[in-house]
């Protein structure tokens, strides 16, 4: 396949032809080396849009011809073209470390991508994380191809009037003004994918985005040959009703997988980033059945081994659900093609095969079709094990098969120009691409306090200058914009979706106390706030009104700025400019949160609830923590307690630390925290670490498992299916007899007899189990050894075990669990039989 731009400027001088390639490669969204090029073409457009493709399409013919004759510009263009070619062709971290590995590109599916404001296909943290994932794959050279949707409108844009009322606007995403290209076949024809919907065929257009070494393919339904209603399926991110959401997810999952097949990709690993993408597993399974001529269960066993499901949802209500009738109506072509009953397909979206009263749950579908599942922080992994417990009845929550890979940020995308210069001088230009990031702390530790404080102060100053120049955020009652904020005052920032569980108004609990902090004569603070409430979330919109009312009633216009229409451009300035990032969710409802990570690289500090990533990152020398590390639900009384704690920490610790200066005017204790935070946390919570963890713990093992399971006409998959069928057939007839579990001196002696009906004893495992003594550790498990076959018994065996008596015998239970060298237990076999020592 080849691609060509959607529209070309026929008047682009030949001398500037390379601008097309540079503008269509989103590497400019994180590589600062090209900034000067686009700034020289049109400084105003570059400052306001950061969209080279738009600049190239908009600039006048006269300006283009002037640049074509500008030798300095030509030299800069040639230098950047060579830099781009070198970045794409040079050896990468992956190619050096895994030169001997046969590794096909990972197929990465996500509903949204936050790569750049030039491509507004995101709503919040999920999309930004996905965008950072792609950029890091490009930097490290990890083979990956991404799939998403090209929305005609994307997520809503925000307006706020003088009374604090939020308005929602939906500007059109014009593909001619975005850095996207139609995907064309070898004959130059635009590639289209056909997808069945009830009573008609849906025609999908295919687009391509170049993200350095990585390709992002996008689908949209706005094809003139589709009926008007179907053209609107890809109109709005997370918009419309339930049926439209189902259709969007079918386009993403099944349409996306068909597109990759049409493009010739051979995929071992499919990474489903959230349950929205889970229909990709159905299309993969169906295709495998047809290609390999195997039955449904064998195909499920073969394909799930290469599927990874990452959940970002911290609450059970956050999972997408659809009525069973709607699912069957839309997936009837797949049901027919696979030759299965509707109930068999629906069971993949239920917690148990017999739970046909449940709605079809996309998270359940993802788990039931995956070979691995993970949350996005250590705490979220634990929360997810609780959420997914219904799929694994009688299994301890500790053993629900959900791991975690804590999110990270693509650091080059989030450091300011001043911070980037600081990191380059301190740790080298290629710090996030070619070196082991664990060594970065050595360079940071050698930087002087003066240099660190200079970098932090410049970031704050440049941020406030940007705020004063920005007009779109001005509220009707804010007139004197040139005097808003003070470049020498402690600047706090918080930006998030305005939802009740995120408690964006916790700081307003005692308005008089907040007003006093803002106006303190010697040690004042100032706030920069941003965030949207969903158009249907009335409670969230009310919290925006409360902030606007506070700013007006307390005459706080010079001390507080509410940034309207929070987007990636705004976020980049905000996380670079503020000294302290405030985050106040109700624990444990923040799955991870990455905004606070973006502060680190710019010398900012965190003051956050011990939730998400901060629950595992916080130490006293790295920032400040809110709460007691426990869960209190939505109790108003606990909100009041934490609000009081927040004021106290601000007044007694944070503010004095910032304003306590030495003879050189440097806040030594504050800078010490900056150094410790940048040194310890920036590498640890970078997407560099995150991606390497995904690669080593998930992608590589899953790819190997997928290849093994489809080898030799799916021999291992067939064996696993037979093993699973035998377990189902005979499990209920397994039983214990003559169990002894007692302490003998310094040992615990265990003896048991087990009757297995017609099961081969190699198909199961008898274990001694105890819950962990520490909730953060793992359970205690010991395998009993089979000794003798019981005389006169049908498939009965005796088992024995001795272990050191470090705990009471009453802590232990016996259990029988499935056992197979190639199976993931309990993900693929959830039977369990207990004998408790009562």
Q: What dihedral do alpha carbons 461, 462, 467, 472 form, nearest 10°? A: 180
**How much is the pLDDT for 483?**
79
Structure tokens at 269: 């690993």
Q: What is the CA radius of gyration of the chain?
A: 29
Q: What is the pLDDT of residue 469?
A: 83
In this predicted structure, what is the pLDDT of residue 445? 86
Query: Strand, coil or helix: what is 739?
Result: strand
Q: Which helix (H) or strand (E) holds 790?
A: none
Angle at 787 between CA 782 and CA 788, to 5 degrees: 145
Three-state SS string across 640-699, please?
HHHHHHHHHHHHHHHHHHHHCCCCCCCCHHHHHHHHHHHHHHCCCCEHHHHHHHHHHHHH
Q: Return d(Cα 184, Cα 17) in angstroms, integer.
A: 21
Half-sphere exposure of 501 (CA within 13 A, CB side): 14
Sheet holding 833-836, edge to edge: 780-783, 764-770, 813-818, 833-836
Strands (E), 337-409: 360-361, 372-375, 403-404
Q: What is the pLDDT of residue 431?
A: 65
What are the structural domains of the chain? Answer: 2-89 (no CATH), 105-158+169-407+698-706 (3.40.50.2000), 411-425+465-685 (3.40.50.2000), 734-836 (2.60.40.10)
pLDDT given at position 617: 97
Burial (CB count within 10 angstroms: exposed 0-12, middle 13-18, buried 19+), residue 492: buried
User: In this structure, which long-range contacts are made by residues 475-478, counting pairs with CB atoms below 8 Å and at least 24 apart in sequence?
Assistant: 475/160, 475/161, 475/162, 475/548, 475/551, 475/562, 475/564, 476/161, 476/162, 477/162, 477/551, 477/552, 477/557, 478/557, 478/561
- Mean pLDDT of successive 10-residue stretches along the chain, which has 838 residues: 58 91 93 89 90 92 93 93 88 91 95 95 94 97 97 90 91 91 90 96 97 97 96 92 97 98 96 97 97 96 98 92 97 97 97 91 98 97 96 96 97 92 80 65 86 96 90 53 88 93 95 97 96 93 95 92 92 96 94 95 97 96 95 90 97 98 96 95 95 97 97 96 97 95 94 95 97 88 94 91 94 97 97 90
- What's the rounded Cα separation, in Å, for the pair 588 and 584? 11
Query: Distance between alpha carbon 647 and the CA centroid of its chain, in Å?
Result: 32
3-state helix, strand, coil in the chain (%, to 5): 45, 20, 35
pLDDT for 261: 96
Q: How many other C-beta atoms are found inside a 10 Å radius of the C-beta of residue 365?
A: 28
Find the largest Cα–Cα distance for the chain. 99
Task: Give, to the nearest 10 degrees, the angle between helix 668-681 and helix 449-469.
Answer: 90
How confident is the model at residue 436, as a pLDDT?
63
**Positive or negative: CA dihedral 420, 423, 425, 428:** negative
Q: Which two tokens stand for residue 122?
A: 């995101």
In a 13 Å sphere around the CA of 455, the CA atoms on its Cβ side amount to: 28
Whole-number pLDDT of residue 193: 97
765: helix, strand or coil: strand
Q: Tokens standing for 192?
A: 């289209």
The pLDDT of residue 3: 46
pLDDT (0 to 100) of residue 476 = 46
Closest CA to 53 of 45, 62, 61: 45
pLDDT for residue 9 = 77
Q: Quick: pLDDT tens for 700-711.
A: 999 999 999 999
């Amino acid at each position: 396949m080849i691609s060509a731009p959607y529209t070309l400027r026929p008047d682009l001088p030949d001398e500037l032809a390379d601008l097309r390639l540079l503008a269509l490669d989103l590497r400019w969204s994180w590589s600062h080396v090209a900034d000067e090029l686009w700034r020289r073409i049109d400084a105003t457009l570059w400052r306001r849009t950061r969209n080279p493709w738009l600049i190239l399409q908009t600039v006048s013919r006269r300006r283009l011809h002037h640049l074509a004759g500008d030798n300095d510009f030509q030299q800069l263009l040639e230098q950047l073209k060579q830099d781009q070619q070198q970045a794409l062709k040079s050896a990468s971290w992956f190619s050096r470390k895994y030169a001997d590995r046969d590794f096909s590109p990972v197929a990465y599916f996500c509903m949204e991508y936050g790569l750049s404001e030039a491509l507004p296909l995101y709503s919040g943290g999920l999309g930004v994380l996905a965008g950072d994932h792609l950029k890091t794959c490009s930097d490290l050279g990890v083979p990956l191809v991404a799939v998403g949707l090209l929305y005609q409108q994307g997520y809503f844009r925000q307006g706020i009037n003088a009374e604090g009322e939020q308005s929602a606007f939906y500007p059109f995403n014009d593909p001619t003004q975005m850095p996207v290209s139609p995907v064309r076949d070898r004959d130059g024809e635009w590639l289209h994918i056909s997808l069945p919907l009830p009573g008609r065929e849906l025609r999908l257009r295919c687009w391509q985005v170049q993200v350095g070494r990585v390709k992002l393919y996008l689908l949209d339904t706005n094809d003139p040959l589709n009926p008007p209603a179907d053209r609107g399926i890809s109109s709005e991110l997370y918009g419309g009703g339930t049926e439209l959401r189902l259709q969007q997810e079918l386009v993403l999952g099944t349409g996306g997988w068909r597109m990759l097949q049409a493009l010739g990709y051979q995929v071992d690993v499919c990474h489903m980033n959230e349950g929205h993408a889970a229909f990709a597993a159905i299309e993969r399974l169906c295709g495998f059945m047809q290609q390999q001529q195997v039955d449904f269960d064998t195909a499920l066993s073969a394909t799930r081994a290469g599927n990874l499901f990452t959940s970002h949802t911290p609450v059970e209500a956050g999972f997408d659900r659809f009525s069973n009738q709607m699912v069957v109506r839309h997936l009837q072509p797949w049901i027919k093609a696979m030759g299965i009953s509707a109930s068999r397909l629906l069971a993949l979206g239920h917690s148990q095969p017999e739970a046909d009263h449940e709605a079809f749950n996309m998270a359940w579908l993802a788990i039931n079709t995956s070979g691995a599942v993970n949350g996005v922080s250590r705490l979220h992994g634990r929360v997810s094990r609780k959420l997914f417990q219904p799929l694994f009845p009688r299994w301890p929550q500790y053993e629900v098969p959900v791991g975690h890979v804590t999110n990270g940020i693509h650091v080059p995308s989030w450091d300011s120009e001043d911070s980037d210069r600081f990191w380059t001088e301190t740790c080298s230009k290629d710090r996030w691409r070619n070196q082991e990031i664990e060594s970065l702390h050595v360079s940071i530790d050698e930087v002087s306090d003066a240099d660190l404080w200079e970098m932090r102060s410049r970031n704050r100053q440049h941020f406030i200058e940007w705020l004063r120049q920005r007009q779109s955020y001005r509220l009707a009652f804010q007139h004197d914009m040139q005097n808003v904020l003070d470049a020498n005052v402690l600047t706090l920032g918080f930006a998030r979706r305005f939802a009740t569980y995120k408690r964006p108004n916790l700081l307003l609990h005692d308005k008089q106390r907040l007003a006093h902090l803002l106006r303190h004569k010697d040690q004042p603070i100032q706030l920069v706030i941003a965030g949207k409430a969903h158009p249907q979330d009335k409670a969230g919109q009310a919290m925006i009104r409360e902030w606007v009312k506070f700013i007006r009633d307390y005459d706080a216009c010079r001390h507080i700025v509410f940034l309207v229409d929070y987007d990636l451009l705004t976020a980049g300035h905000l996380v670079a400019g503020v000294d302290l990032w405030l985050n106040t969710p109700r624990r444990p409802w923040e799955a991870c949160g990455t905004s606070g990570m973006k502060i680190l690289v710019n010398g900012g500090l965190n003051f956050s609830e011990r939730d998400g990533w901060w629950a595992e990152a916080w130490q006293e020398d790295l920032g400040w923590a809110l709460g007691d590390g426990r869960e209190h639900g939505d109790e108003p009384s606990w909100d009041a307690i934490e609000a009081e704690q927040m004021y106290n920490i601000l007044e007694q610790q944070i503010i004095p630390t910032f304003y306590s200066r030495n003879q050189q005017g440097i806040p030594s204790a504050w800078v010490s925290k900056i150094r410790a935070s940048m040194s310890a946390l920036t590498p640890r919570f970078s997407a560099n670490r995150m991606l390497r963890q995904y690669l080593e713990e998930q992608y590589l093992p899953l790819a190997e498992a997928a290849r093994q399971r489809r080898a030799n006409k799916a021999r291992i998959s067939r064996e696993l299916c037979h093993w699973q069928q035998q377990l189902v057939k005979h499990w209920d007839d397994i039983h214990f007899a003559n169990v002894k579990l007692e302490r003998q001196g310094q040992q615990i002696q265990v003896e048991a007899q087990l009757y297995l009906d017609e099961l081969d004893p190699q198909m199961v495992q008898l274990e001694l189990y105890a819950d962990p003594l520490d909730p953060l550790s793992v359970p205690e498990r010991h395998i009993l050894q089979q000794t003798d076959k019981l005389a006169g018994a049908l498939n009965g065996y005796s088992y024995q075990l001795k272990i050191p008596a470090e705990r009471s015998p009453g802590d232990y239970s016996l259990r029988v669990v499935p056992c197979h060298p190639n199976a993931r237990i309990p993900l693929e076999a959830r039977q369990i039989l207990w004998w408790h020592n009562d």
